[in-house]
Structure 1
Amino acid sequence: MQKLTKDQLNQFTGDMVRYRHLINRKVIYTPGVKYLAEKAEAYWLIDAIASWIGSEPFEDAASKDDRIGYMHFWTLTVHENGTATLAAKADSPEKPFISQQIPFTDFPLDSIDIWAAVSDELWTLYLPSEH
Structure 2
Amino acid sequence: MRKTFDATQLTQFIGTTGYYRISRRHLLTDGTKYLAEEAECFWMMDAIASHLSEIGTEDWFVQVRMTVNGKRATMIYEDGSGKEHARQEIPYTDFPMHAISLFACWDGEHWVIMLPSEY
Same fold per superposition (TM over 0.5): yes
Moved over 2 A (4+): none
Instruction: Map 1:41-120 to 2 at 5 A.
Output: 41-55=40-54, 58-59=55-56, 66=58, 69-80=59-70, 82-92=71-81, 94-120=82-108
Residues 15-38 of structure 1, C-alpha deviation per residue, up to 9 Å, x if partnerless?
23000113xx11111010011011
Instruction: Map 1:15-54 to 2 at 5 A.
Output: 15-22=16-23, 25-54=24-53
Partner of 1:2: 4
Shift of 1:121: 1.7
More strand by share: 2
Aligned residues: 117
Equivalent-residue separation in structure 1 for 2:6 and 2:86 (angstroms): 26
Aligned Cα RMSD in Å? Answer: 1.4
| AA of the residue aligned to 1:28 | L
Contact 1:85 1:102 in 2 (8 A): yes
Q: Percent identity?
A: 38
Secondary structure in structure 1 of the residue aligned to 2:13? coil
Residues 51-88 of structure 1, C-alpha deviation per residue, up to 9 Å, x if partnerless?
11122xx14xx6xxx5xx211100111012x1000111
Ranges in structure 2 where 5+ consecutive residues have no aligned partner: none
Ranges in structure 1 where 5+ consecutive residues have no aligned partner: none
Shift of 1:96: 2.1
TM-score, normalised via structure 1 length = 0.83
TM-score, normalised via structure 2 length = 0.90
